[in-house]
Structures are given as structure tokens and as C-alpha cells.
Homo-oligomer: A and B are copies of this chain.
């Protein structure tokens, strides 16, 4: 398998962590998004959306969208709950992540860290929704050690990716103690540093 990814992207790291956790072998091909390397004709032929991560499976077929990729790789593993309802809750977190978390927490980080925007100049709506997303995680994690019950699942993989880097976008993780403890727990479970 080939993983086309940018190491600065939490979405790409999700795929790396999942593959590493599962002991899969792969080649990592670094794609520099800031230099538009995901917009070349060769890349667009593989993924018309021009986004990383994109993987090319061993049989040569491509697959995109970080959460779709990790669901495919982890199918049948302990990262996906066997119970149908727990699996559905995991999916609920995965879709929520892409709609209500990533567009705020990750985008704030990108603007501050890679586009040089000072935190006070971030769009207020971006900050407000980012904080709402972190608070929603905080509320959820007051009840269970991982997002879906007692063990690490893809919900944790997907949500920890940008949450652990939220400080880069001006969010203060000290305001979210349950989230902070959970980040350490997930990092340990996934053996990431």
C-alpha cells in the first residue's frame, strides 16, 4: 500500500497511526500541500478531489477521505466495535469530526501556524465553533475513558488528530481537563508521541 500524505496534516496522520497500530506495511509518499503537490495532473488522476490523504491499495486501486480510509483498513480489527450500536456511535463521531470539529479546530491551526495569521485576528465564528467542538468532546469524555466506551476506536484516532494540536490555533487545552487526559490515554493506546 502507498499512503500519499502531508506530515503536517492530522487527516494524514490518522491513516499512518491506523496502519501502524494494525502492523500494516506501506510506503509513505510525502505530498507538500503548501506547495500544491496535491493539485498536479498526476495526483488529480488518482484523486480528482486533490486532497490528501489518498492511498493506493496493493491491487492499485485508490481510496480517499481519511475517515473512509481508516474504516477500510481497520475493518474487523479492535479499532471498530463489534457491537452494531457502538459501531454506529463511532461513525457518528467520525462524521461529526469532519463537519463540526475539523473545519474549525484544524482550520484555525492552519491559518495561525501555516498562514501566519495572529490568533486575535481569527474569524470569531471559527473560534466560537472550535470551542464548542472542544466542549462537546469534554462533555462526552467526562462519561467514558474513550469516545465509544472502554477501549480505543477509530473515533479516538480521528478526533485526537487535530485536538492534540488545537493549541497551535490558539485554543487552550487547559480549559478542557477531560480532553487533556484523554489525549494522553489515546497517545498511549496508539503508541504515538
Interface size on A, residues (CB 8 A): 32
- Bound-complex Cα distance A16 to B87 (A): 21
A-side interface mostly: helix
Answer yes or no: A35 CB below 8 A from chain B CBs.
no
Q: Which B residues lie within 8 Å of A84 (CB)?
A: 72, 75
Sampled A-B contacts (7; CB under 8 Å): A48-B139, A61-B85, A65-B92, A65-B95, A68-B89, A72-B91, A98-B98
Asked if B85 contacts A67 (CB within 8 A), the reply is no
Q: Is A181 an interface residue (CB 8 A)?
A: no
In the bound complex, how far is the Cα of B99 from the Cα of A66, in angstroms?
11
Is A136 interfacial (CB-CB < 8 Å)?
A: yes
Q: Are B91 and A49 in contact (CB under 8 A)?
A: no
- Report the Cα distance A98→B94, complex, angstroms: 11
The one of B63, B75, B92 in contact with A64, judged by C-beta atoms closer than 8 angstroms, is B92
A103 at the interface (CB under 8 A from B): yes
| Residue of B49, B89, B94, B136 touching A96 (CB-CB under 8 A) | B49
Residues of B within 8 A of A102 (CB): 99
A140 to B49, CA, bound (A): 11
Which chain B residues lie closer than 8 Å to A71 at the CB level? 88, 91
